Amino acid sequence: MDTTGIAHALIDWFGRSARKLPWRAPETSAWAILVSEFMLQQTQVERVLPRWTAWLERWPQPSALAADPPGEAVRAWDRLGYPRRALWLHRAAVEIAEQHSDQVPSDVNQLLALTGVGPYTARAVATFAFGERHPVVDTNTRRVIARVVHGRAAAGMPAARDLDDMAQLLPEEPAAAAVFNAAAMELGAIVCTARAPRCDECPLAAWCEWRGTGYPDNAPEKRPKQAKFEGSDRQARGRVLALLRSAHGAVTRAEAAAAARAGMSPAALAANPGQAERAVESLLRDTLVIAEGERLRLP
């Protein structure tokens, strides 16, 4: 495998074709980059942009967020989805303020110790905020490597091997390695896409094993399909939180349960009795909602 040629072509393409995303600006703080990585976990770039800007305007440092109640983070998270991430980001801000003098750590192990920071986010922050040399592997990178290196139509289940695969391709120079990491993610996001890859625009087409072998239909077994959202507990939870974000005081359990049922068909309600109450209880368990007396509010 011509790793030097691949790295050069990909970095060159990134210089020409990368989107101008604000968290890639050179002066972006490590905190701002950390916030972007939290928001980008399973949420697309276009939806993140306005929330990211507003978040950093309001909370320019971890200590600023840590000083506000966690419910404010849940409210500002708006509809980015998976609101537990807002809670985790708040906890991470408290941890950074209390344990790291309000400075985002650069060490991968210290980053991994923060709430809500896993293998992807830790290496992304160490790499993009501090210029360290690590393989940064996300869903885009895994797909690019699956196709270019392994000749497969799609990536399989995430595995430790993914980090080794990426490390094999990484340029020696840390700055070049950081750009290469970002470029692999960008290529997967806008050219080597899951659905309809734009191979005619791909800078790695000449090296791509999947292309070279005639696009075999050899996708490995995918992770189990996510349950349908319509009618799910997640949807019910989302409706309750939407009510609490807009309500500035507390609401009753009856109001919360009614919000959980809003829009459900009579048949769906009959098929899933008690779902609304379960949704409220699970939000309480997750501390996304807290009870004070008979009423409920954001934490």
Partner DNA sequence: AATCCGGGGGC
Partner DNA sequence: GCCCCAGGATT
Q: Which residues are catalytic?
A: 37
Name the one range near DNA by CB under 7 A: 60-68, 171-179, 216-224, 268-276.
216-224
Residue by residue, DSSP assigns 119-185 as HHHHHHHHHHTT--------HHHHHHHHHHTT--SS--S--THHHHHHHHH--SSHHHHHHHHHHHH
Residue 45 or 64: the one with the smaller Cβ distance to DNA is 45
Q: With contact defined as beta carbons under 8 Å apart, do 101 and 75 qualify?
A: no
The answer to whether residue 30 forms part of the interface with DNA (CB under 7 A) is no
Q: With contact defined as beta carbons under 8 Å apart, do 85 and 74 qualify?
A: no
The answer to whether residue 35 forms part of the interface with DNA (CB under 7 A) is no
What residues have CB less than 8 Å from 29, skipping those under 6 apart? 60, 104, 129
> For residue 120, what are the CA distances in angstroms to 53, 126, 188?
22, 10, 15
The answer to whether residue 40 forms part of the interface with DNA (CB under 7 A) is yes
State how far Cα 226 lies from the chain centre. Answer: 17
Q: With contact defined as beta carbons under 8 Å apart, do 144 and 152 qualify?
A: no
Query: Taking the complex as a whole, how short is the minimal distance between the CB of residue 272 and DNA, in angstroms?
Result: 12
The answer to whether residue 229 forms part of the interface with DNA (CB under 7 A) is yes
For 104, half-sphere exposure in the C-beta direction (CA atoms, 13 angstrom radius) is 30
Residue 47 or 261: the one with the smaller Cβ distance to DNA is 47
The answer to whether residue 239 forms part of the interface with DNA (CB under 7 A) is yes
Name the one range near DNA by CB under 7 A: 17-25, 59-67, 257-265, 269-277.
17-25
Contact with DNA (CB under 7 A): which of 21, 163, 199, 205?
21
Question: Tokens 């996300």, residue?
Answer: 138
The answer to whether residue 83 forms part of the interface with DNA (CB under 7 A) is yes
The answer to whether residue 181 forms part of the interface with DNA (CB under 7 A) is no
The answer to whether residue 215 forms part of the interface with DNA (CB under 7 A) is no
Contact with DNA (CB under 7 A): which of 98, 222, 262, 269?
222
Query: Taking the complex as a whole, how short is the minimal distance between the CB of residue 38 and DNA, in angstroms?
Result: 8
What are the CB-based long-range contacts (under 8 Å, 24+) for 193-196?
Answer: 194/143, 194/154
Name the one range near DNA by CB under 7 A: 2-10, 64-72, 180-188, 267-275.
180-188
Q: With contact defined as beta carbons under 8 Å apart, do 125 and 105 qualify?
A: no
What residues have CB less than 8 Å from 108, skipping those under 6 apart? 122, 123, 126, 132, 134
Contact with DNA (CB under 7 A): which of 7, 9, 66, 80?
80
Residue 38 or 59: the one with the smaller Cβ distance to DNA is 38
The residues binding DNA (CB under 7 A) are: 21, 23-24, 36-37, 40-47, 79-84, 88, 115-122, 124, 138-140, 143, 154, 157, 182, 185-186, 188-189, 193-196, 222-229, 232-235, 237-239, 241-242, 282
